[in-house]
Chain A
Amino acid sequence: MKDVMGIIYTGENDARLRELTIIRAIAALPVAGRFRVIDFLVSSMVNGGMKNIGVIMQKNYHSLMDHLGSGKEWDLHGKTNGLHILPPFLTRENVGLYPGVLDGLRSNTDYLNRSKQELVVLSNSNIIYNAHFKDMIAFYENTGADITLMYTKDPSMKRDEFGTYISLDQDGNVKDIEVEPTHPNYDNTFMQVCLMKREFLKELVDKAVAHGLHDLARDLLLKLVQEKQAKVNAFEYTGVCWNIDSVQSYFKFNMDILKPEIRKKLFIDELPVFTKVRDEMPAFYSAESHSVNSLVADGCQIEGKIENSVLFRGVRVAPNAHVKNCIIMQDGQVQEGAYIENCILDKQTVIKKNTKLIGPEAYPIVIAKNVVI
């Protein structure tokens, strides 16, 4: 079995996530009642046997660093290899903000050099899926490619003006790459994951940054494909996936996993998703409470009515409060008689007695952390 390491690039463009990512990277965004976006990717890598994982951080990375810690929850805290948090170097050239992933990699050549694995899976951090990469690695080896990209044909992953799309020839080799086109011409969405030899990545990064290139797909991969300088092919990921790049897509992901058949495809027994533990009591439902179609984490106290909602740890819903189609993060409180619909409440928010807050279905209201309404 080949020795593979993982590198995760965080801090991508997140303006469409509004208040949710002012204080944290997308990778650190709480999802699904107790996880953070990055948990799925790190767990996928660990389940695929990777023991050396580097996380390139920038901008508002404090929350992410705090969450990952020593990597213990993912069994990445050992003496051999483990989790490596790679904060930005603040120098004259680097101000804590990388123009592109190639710059992030260039800043961390030391880490690339010190690592011993032959192959590297390089990934962005804003797409949620559960994959162990073994099939992709086998595909890469069997086809003798220099670089293998991972893509999906899932139509919900396509967006106008955002995303990267690829076209393939009949052998599965990449013919063309579009980055953030006004309207995508291709149905294959690049999942921002690629696999190649670690030494090859080092070479590419050195050359690319020396020539002023920043973006992986647009500046580097496209050039390699157009000038036929490397064999670049693509592996199709056929499982469930979500691109967390806007308030709407964040909301949709959490609502999608309320469906048992979808949840079973993301949370697979043999491929567990690890995350930080908080030692809460089980959730309590009072005699007068009424709950339907909801995902509820430990430590919650439900005394009112909840429907079609995702409640994180320690959320309290008071008697006669009504929560519908909402996502409520840790320790949120919905007090007596309050009614909220289509809302996303960041951590520790309080909705006071008898307050009514109804968001439009297509544009959920986001309440920032610690706000009291």
Chain B
Amino acid sequence: MLRKKTCIAMLLAGGQGSRLGILTKNVAKPAVPYGGKYRIIDFPLSNCTNSGIDTVGVLTQYQPLELNAYIGSGAPWDLDISNGGVFVLPPYQKGKSGEWYRGTANAIYQNMAFIEQYHPDYVLILSGDHIYKMDYNAMLDYHISHGADATIAVREVPWEEASRFGIMNTDPDGTIVEFEEKPQNPKSNKASMGVYIFTWEKLRHYLTEDEADKNSSNDFGKNIIPNMLRDKQVLVAYDFNGYWKDVGTIESLWEANMDLIDNPMPMNMHDKNWRIYSKNPGMPPHYISEGAVVTDTLITEGCEVYGKVNHSVLFAGVVVEEGADIEYSVIMPGSIIKRGAIVRRSIVAENATVGAGSIIGEDSGNIAVIGQGVTLPAGVSVPSGTQVDESYTF
């Protein structure tokens, strides 16, 4: 019999992240590399570890292989413990039938048995889409002290952009009085972050009720939250004002990487009291050669740099040959940029090879992307905004 937990986390990691184009062709969005040595899921997982939440269900669905292998038994995040830990939860057959996850709320509904094992008082709902550091324990304290049924983390967005988000209209004391999805004329600029804490008893009731509604989209934002508001449940907004980046598009993923090179860094990644853990590749320190020129750049273990790198992020084991010239780009693990290649404003995914003398991307315009495992022939040109996978012909 498993011991009771005060609060467990359920991390929604099943989406395709289709706006990441070929970067998520073979891999789920939370497993996409970020920041030189991380994957997006390292942030919510590390936040859990640092917040003292030791039981995390990760709901997977789309292309989960790389994500599942990455999570493993949870050791990198201290989540390989005997009571609790991290659990990968794909959809499964129950009795005679089973189905894919139909929406964020349905995904949680289908895993009620998992949650019930721990008889939690509270459940934290997270997604694997965002880069941010947050103390969920502080949010839980807020939820409890306000006697809330649900607490929704919000952050202020520029008023011009408020119409792109789920907006919470609140009382001065933080109570949510209205929720508007992408309002034309927003009354508030507090946007929902997709991070929720629910009192489990209440959530269980609303999930069950929602499941019976054939017209529902089974979505937290579209259904569960509005239903709770309708019934005048106690919903409060928890203000978050740290760095937070949605890395759901190619442009925003690239920007989030570039943010790490800014001085000062908008998110403090050197905080020893809030480390971001990840599965380390275990390679020797990187090498900068005699003729290399490296400026304004992040480089991690295993890289061998013989060329020129400016304002870029190099992941583990990347090789930059002599004469190669990289600027404003993100080169993911194991990729090789061959002699004389010029790379500008691009993302080169894992284990790709950019052929000698190629020109990838341009000094302005949208981000060019070279897909996972792609080997480019020598001397080719890839215009800005182009995505190159194995099927691309020059």
Give A contacts to B, CB under 8 Å: 32-35, 72-73, 258, 260, 263, 267, 272-275, 277, 279, 281-289, 291-299, 310-312
Shortest CB distance B131–A (Å): 13
Chain A binding surface SS class: loop
Residues of B within 8 A of A297 (CB): 285, 301
Flag if B301 contacts A287 (CB, 8 Å): no
Flag if A292 contacts B304 (CB, 8 Å): no
Within B155-191, the residues touching A (CB, 8 Å) are: none
Shortest CB distance B246–A (Å): 21
Given known contacts A279-B276, A282-B313, is B301 in contact with A263 (CB within 8 Å)? no
Residues of B within 8 A of A291 (CB): 288, 292, 294
Chain B binding surface SS class: loop
Within B247-304, the residues touching A (CB, 8 Å) are: 260-261, 263, 269-270, 275-278, 280, 282-292, 294-301, 304
Given A260-B289, A281-B35: 19 more A-B contacts, CB < 8 Å: A72-B75, A73-B282, A258-B287, A277-B280, A279-B278, A281-B36, A281-B37, A281-B269, A282-B299, A282-B314, A286-B263, A288-B295, A291-B292, A292-B292, A296-B285, A296-B288, A296-B299, A298-B285, A310-B285
Q: What are 20 sample pairs from A and B whose C-beta atoms fall under 8 A apart?
A: A32-B284, A33-B285, A72-B75, A258-B287, A274-B282, A279-B276, A281-B36, A281-B298, A282-B298, A282-B299, A282-B314, A285-B296, A285-B299, A286-B263, A291-B288, A292-B288, A294-B287, A295-B284, A296-B286, A299-B270
How far does the alpha carbon of A273 sit from the alpha carbon of B294 in the complex, in Å? Answer: 27
Choose one: B263, B287, B299; the contact of A260 (CB below 8 Å). B287
Q: Which residue of B lies closest to A310 (CB)?
A: B285
Contacts between chains A and B (CB distance < 8 A), count = 98
Residues of B within 8 A of A287 (CB): 295-296, 311
Q: Which residue of B lies closest to A291 (CB)?
A: B288
Residues of A within 8 A of B37 (CB): 281-282, 298
How far does the alpha carbon of A291 sit from the alpha carbon of B296 in the complex, in Å? Answer: 12
Flag if A282 contacts B36 (CB, 8 Å): yes
Given known contacts A279-B280, A282-B36, A282-B37, is B300 in contact with A293 (CB within 8 Å)? no
Residues of B within 8 A of A275 (CB): 282
Shortest CB distance B63–A (Å): 26
Flag if B282 contacts A285 (CB, 8 Å): no
Shortest CB distance A311–B (Å): 8
Q: Which residue of B lies closest to A299 (CB)?
A: B270
Shortest CB distance A38–B (Å): 16
Flag if B299 contacts A283 (CB, 8 Å): yes
Shortest CB distance A284–B (Å): 5
How far does the alpha carbon of A297 sit from the alpha carbon of B269 in the complex, in Å? Answer: 16
Q: Which residue of B lies closest to A314 (CB)?
A: B270
Choose one: A72, A263, A279, A310; the contact of B275 (CB below 8 Å). A279
How far does the alpha carbon of A69 sit from the alpha carbon of B21 in the complex, in Å? Answer: 43
Q: Which residue of B lies closest to A288 (CB)?
A: B295
Choose one: B260, B263, B288, B297; the contact of A293 (CB below 8 Å). B288
Residues of A within 8 A of B283 (CB): 267
How far does the alpha carbon of A73 sit from the alpha carbon of B279 in the complex, in Å? Answer: 12
Flag if B270 contacts A281 (CB, 8 Å): yes
Shortest CB distance B323–A (Å): 16
Q: Which residue of B lies closest to A258 (CB)?
A: B287
